[in-house]
Amino acid sequence: MKSSLILATTLLAAAPNVLCNPIARAFNTTFSNATNSTTANATQILQFALTLEHLENAFYSQGLSNFSESDFENAGLPSSARGRFEQIAQHESTHVDFLTNALGNDSVAACNYSFPSTDPNSFAALSGILESVGNAAYLGAAVDLTNDTTALKAAASILSTEARHASWVYSSVLGSDPWSGAFDTPLDGDLVYTLASSFIVSCPESNPALPFTAFPSLNVSGSGNSSFGNSSSGNSSVNSTYAPAPGNNVTLSYDNSTAGENAQFLAFLSGLNTTFANISSDKQVAIPNNLQGLVFAVVTTNDTSVSNGSIVAGPATLFFPFSPNSTNANVTDM
Ligand SMILES: *[C@@H]1O[C@H](CO)[C@@H](O)[C@H](O)[C@H]1NC(C)=O
Ligand SMILES: *[C@@H]1O[C@H](CO)[C@@H](O)[C@H](O)[C@H]1NC(C)=O
Ligand SMILES: *[C@@H]1O[C@H](CO)[C@@H](O)[C@H](O)[C@H]1NC(C)=O
Ligand SMILES: *[C@@H]1O[C@H](CO)[C@@H](O)[C@H](O)[C@H]1NC(C)=O
Ligand SMILES: *[C@@H]1O[C@H](CO)[C@@H](O)[C@H](O)[C@H]1NC(C)=O
Ligand SMILES: *[C@@H]1O[C@H](CO)[C@@H](O)[C@H](O)[C@H]1NC(C)=O
Ligand SMILES: *[C@@H]1O[C@H](CO)[C@@H](O)[C@H](O)[C@H]1NC(C)=O
Ligand SMILES: *[C@@H]1O[C@H](CO)[C@@H](O)[C@H](O)[C@H]1NC(C)=O
Ligand SMILES: *[C@@H]1O[C@H](CO)[C@@H](O)[C@H](O)[C@H]1NC(C)=O
Ligand SMILES: *[C@@H]1O[C@H](CO)[C@@H](O)[C@H](O)[C@H]1NC(C)=O
Ligand SMILES: *[C@@H]1O[C@H](CO)[C@@H](O)[C@H](O)[C@H]1NC(C)=O
Ligand SMILES: *[C@@H]1O[C@H](CO)[C@@H](O)[C@H](O)[C@H]1NC(C)=O
């Protein structure tokens, strides 16, 4: 597919290394072990949503102030791309205003961010990730909004808008797949927090603590056969997306010191399904078949169930492109 995708992911991988301690840098907060992410109330969920919308809003306003329409055209992107990104930027700004208004005195302020995008292609690639993670975050948080139907309806309305953004970015801008399957993937607050906090440098001290904890980062690398990763040495972390080939082995990099001697597995969160694969002693994993589109991977100590207590590291974002002619959920047809 498009060589611009290779460029995009290569440049994404060249992110500034300012992210070594995401938790401390992001929210400068000590988190209580007692809460984990299961006890958030509606106010906290909306505060988290506003935190993510601030991040997206800053991402688009920074990117669009850096890149002109001719920058987009010179980067080989459709000439209409910048205008559409302007519209997306306005949506995110509107989401910030909406949630700020809804939260009133409980609002959280914008933070300082560091985004690795250096050109229109890496900007578009990160846009696809942020919109997809936003989508997964609203999906995962819906269960915590069941006592507040007004907030739930607003969150669902934002969710579907972000899904449209992601579809447009992946299909029209990046020349890849508009969807992943029949079901999108919900992500728990801690997993979203892990991904988001890597882009946050510092937040105002007046912001309340959020009841989420980031997991250690997970990097997946190996040879990839596809357009969405660097074809010779693909790499996935919170700031890039990597497309390994089904059946190939990948190598993981993560801090396993908290897992003790427990066996470790790589869990692929895909739609409402989770697929588990064994991790060998040298941290190799054979990529299973039947993964399609955007998939989140976490290292766990349990090969039947993923929970906060069993997650060792991650998520990493993986992307499995599939042909327009392929059978749904069957990447071997490529
Ligand atoms: C982002 O990418 C850079 C370059 O590959 C890497 O050094 C850094 O650790 C990545 N960030 C995270 C949190 O993985
Ligand atoms: C966290 O905030 C305290 C003040 O409350 C400050 O002294 C410290 O430098 C901050 N740490 C980080 C990592 O930003
Ligand atoms: C969280 O748990 C760890 C290990 O059990 C402990 O060392 C740490 O002090 C706890 N942190 C808080 C804020 O309770
Ligand atoms: C939500 O939880 C926070 C933190 O425990 C608490 O301060 C706040 O009062 C709660 N809000 C509601 C509406 O329950
Ligand atoms: C909804 O409210 C009920 C009754 O107050 C409470 O028991 C339950 O935990 C709440 N659920 C959520 C998701 O906040
Ligand atoms: C943790 O990683 C180290 C270095 O890769 C390895 O020697 C060790 O066996 C791993 N521990 C577990 C429990 O997988
Ligand atoms: C889960 O995966 C199985 C096997 O690949 C597939 O048959 C099933 O349709 C999937 N279910 C969902 C909800 O995606
Ligand atoms: C691929 O990974 C599996 C563990 O999932 C391991 O058993 C196998 O030896 C690896 N194969 C190669 C060629 O490294
Ligand atoms: C994995 O999780 C399931 C569901 O919580 C539990 O029943 C099982 O004992 C766990 N297995 C291990 C090895 O921890
Ligand atoms: C919270 O998550 C940690 C692992 O991140 C786990 O060890 C702990 O048991 C969990 N605590 C509760 C109360 O669920
Ligand atoms: C899809 O299938 C048709 C008919 O077999 C073929 O002509 C076309 O080239 C295929 N398209 C792709 C993208 O593989
Ligand atoms: C995927 O396609 C291959 C080859 O067409 C077939 O053998 C396999 O059974 C299919 N798998 C699923 C889950 O449909």
Report DSSP letters for 248-292, one per residue: -EEEEEE--GGGTT---EEEEEETTEEEEEEPPTTSEEEPPSS--
Condensed to tens digits (0 to 9), the pLDDT of residues 21-44 reads 222 222 222 223 333 445 688 999
Question: What is the Cα–Cα distance from 280 to 263, expressed in whole angstroms?
Answer: 9
With a pLDDT cut of 90, the percent of the chain lying above it is: 55
Mean pLDDT (the chain, rounded): 81
Q: Residues with Cβ < 8 Å from 47, sequence gap 6 or more?
A: 103, 106, 107, 108, 208, 210
Nearest CA to ligand 5 atom 2: 147
- Domains along the chain? 3-202 (1.20.1260), 218-333 (no CATH)
| CA pair distance 231, 228, nearest whole angstrom | 8
Residue 245 CA to ligand 8 center (angstroms) comes to 14
In a mutational test of the pocket of ligand 8, which residue from 249, 282, 303 has the highest number of ligand atoms less than 8 Å from its CB? 249
pLDDT at 135 over 70: yes
Mean pLDDT for the stretch of residues 153-172: 96
The mean pLDDT of 289-307, rounded to a whole number, is 90
From 28, 33, 257, the mutation candidate for ligand 3 (largest count of ligand atoms within 8 A of CB) is 33
DSSP state of 231: S
Please tell me the number of the ligand nearest to residue 114's CA.
1
- Please say whether the dihedral angle defined by the alpha carbons of residues 169, 150, 54 and 319, taken in this order, is positive or negative: negative
Q: Is the dihedral of CA 32, 113, 140, 226 positive or negative?
A: negative
pLDDT mean over 180-201: 93
Instruction: Find the helix or strand (DSSP H, E) in which 112 lies.
Output: strand 112-113
Cα separation, 200 vs 47, in Å, equals 15
**For residues 107 and 203, what is the distance between their CA atoms, to the nearest angstrom?**
13
pLDDT at 25: 27
* Tokens 């992001």, residue located: 26
One-letter identity of residue 53: E
Across 70-75, average pLDDT: 93
Atom of ligand 11 nearest to the CA of 325: 1
- Identity of the residue numbered 219: N
Residue with the smallest CA separation from ligand 3 atom 3 is 33
Least confident of 113-117, 140-144, 238-242: 238-242
- Among all bound ligands, the one having the nearest atom to the CA of 327 is 12
Q: Are 207 and 105 in contact (CB under 8 A)?
A: no
Q: How many Cβ atoms sit within 10 Å of the Cβ of residue 255? A: 13
**Whole-number pLDDT of residue 6:** 30
- pLDDT score of 185 more than 50: yes
Neighbours of 216 (CB within 10 A): 17
Query: Which of the residue ranges 2-6, 87-91, 98-102 would you say has the lowest mean pLDDT?
Result: 2-6
Q: Band the pLDDT of 241: cuts 50, 70, 90.
A: low
Q: Best-predicted range by mean pLDDT among 16-25, 69-78, 82-91, 275-284?
A: 82-91
Asked whether 280 lines ligand 8 (CB < 6 A), one says yes
Determine which residue's CA is closest to atom 7 belonging to ligand 3: 33
For 193-261, where are the E strands, in sequence order? 200-202, 218-222, 234-236, 249-254
Query: With pLDDT > 70 as the criterion, what percentage of the chain qualifies?
Result: 80
pLDDT score of 249 more than 80: yes
User: Which amino acid, residue 108?
Assistant: V
Ligand 10: distance of its center to the CA of 312 in Å?
Answer: 11
SS3 content of the chain, % helix, strand, coil (to 5): 45, 15, 40
Q: Contacts from 146-149 at CB under 8 Å and sequence distance 24+? A: 147/42, 148/42
Cα–ligand 5 centroid distance for 41 (angstroms): 8
Q: Among 51-55, 81-85, 186-190, which stretch is predicted with the lowest mean pLDDT? A: 186-190
| Residue-wise pLDDT tens digits, 299-323 | 999 999 898 888 999 999 888 888 8
| In the block, residue with structure tokens 């920074």 | 62
Confirm or reject: Cβ of 309 under 6 Å from ligand 10: yes
| Residue 232 near ligand 3, beta carbon < 6 Å | no
Mean pLDDT of 98-116: 96
Say what the pLDDT of residue 200 is: 94
What's the rounded mean pLDDT across residues 218-227? 66
Both tokens of residue 81? 């791309």
The arithmetic mean of pLDDT across residues 259-273, rounded, is: 87
Does the beta carbon of 149 sit less than 6 angstroms from any atom of ligand 3? no
